[in-house]
Amino acid sequence: MYLMDSIAQVAGIAPRGDPILSIYPDIWDRMAGAPRFLLDNAAVHASVEIGLGRPRVLLDALEHIQVPYPVMWVEWAESGREELRRRFQEEEIPGRPVPDRLGFLLETDTGGRKGTATWAWASSGVDVPNIAPIGAFFDLDRRIEQPSARKTGILQSNLGQMWKDNPVQLEALKDIWRTAKHKPSDWGLKYFDVLYSRFGDIEERLNASYADVYGEYIEIWTIILLLTSSRQAVEYRQVDRSKINKARTKRRETPLLDHTEVVMHLSRHIKGEGAARSPLTYARKSPRIHLVSRYLARRGDKHWLVNPYVRGEGEWVSRHTHVRG
């Protein structure tokens, strides 16, 4: 089952007045009408590759990113990141198993540069998904100094170790995290208050909650880069569940959510078996002079931002913009 559907099912039975369970109908209300994107393993793998590329490039890209919707939901199967864990030979931490599905809810202001990210995940054998009490309150136009414990965590992380001998890239990596302040949400404050009164040792629980989401912050922006790429790196497939929901409504079951499935094509598209090929002596005519917009380039596991440049020969391409008053 998709993570968003698990949240919807719990929201249908959770009491809104409960200090802990009230988050599920609240998240459901905030997701209502928002576009929802489900990434396949190829898209997740590509987002990981971008995160493993040079942090300076990603930081430059953040200067131009705008979240395209005021509210949007993104989720994926964690199996798509198994290769990353094998690459770093990561071991499963006792008491913190790898979730089956992971997702986040982005809520932004009108400019798409400032907002909050709320994480959620579902694990096998657990009927109720987890909502993170720690949220990322980001502002891409600011630099927010991080607590010393968080900075130490970045330096000791796998990404930090990759760039420990490169001061420029390491500083850029820290600057990516400086675009957000991680802290308990309004619901998270109630969550910790209840846990503290029942179980005590709030500091240990706080540290565990920060560890659950803090390192994932970079993944938000690598995914947004994929979704807003000027090149058609991914294909969007609309999934309509209206028919199945009619039957579920009759059985008084929670309706499933419509969403957009995101598929990334890593191999070249083949237009047809009988596609004509040009002769060996054929030289393609140089295009007319035109301006190529800035874009994020990829070669293997390397990614970099290409600045605008002029391409072609001969006459300039003239563009006409029609404006209606």
What count of other Cβ atoms lies within 10 Å of the Cβ of residue 173?
25
Confidence of residue 304 (pLDDT cuts 50, 70, 90): low
pLDDT at 294: 66
Angle at Cα 183 formed by Cα 119 and Cα 104, nearest 5°?
15
- Is pLDDT of 86 > 70? no
CB 41 within 8 A of CB 80: yes
pLDDT digit string (tens) for 42-79? 888 888 888 888 899 899 999 989 999 999 999 999 88
- Residue at 314 is within a domain: no
Residue 135 in any domain: the answer is yes
Asked if the structure places residue 279 within a domain, the reply is no
| Residue 103 domain-assigned (yes or no) | yes
Assess if residue 299 is contained within a domain: no
Instruction: Quote the mean pLDDT of the chain.
Output: 83
Q: Give rounded-to-5 percent helix, strand, coil for the chain.
A: 40, 20, 40
Parent domain of 14: 3-263
Residue 36 belongs to some domain of the structure = yes
Q: pLDDT at position 28, please?
A: 94
What's the pTM? Answer: 0.73
Unique residue bearing structure tokens 């596991």: 301
Establish if 52 belongs to a structural domain. Answer: yes
pLDDT of residue 280: 47
Task: Give the pLDDT score at 59.
Answer: 93
For the chain, the domain total comes to 1
* Residue 142 contacts residue 179 (beta carbons within 8 Å): yes
Please give the sequence-ordered ranges of beta strands (E in DSSP) within 123-168, or none if there are none.
Answer: 130-131, 134-139
pLDDT digits (tens, 9 = 90+) for 138-181: 999 999 999 998 888 888 888 888 899 999 999 999 999 999 99
Task: Report if residue 274 sits inside a domain.
Answer: no
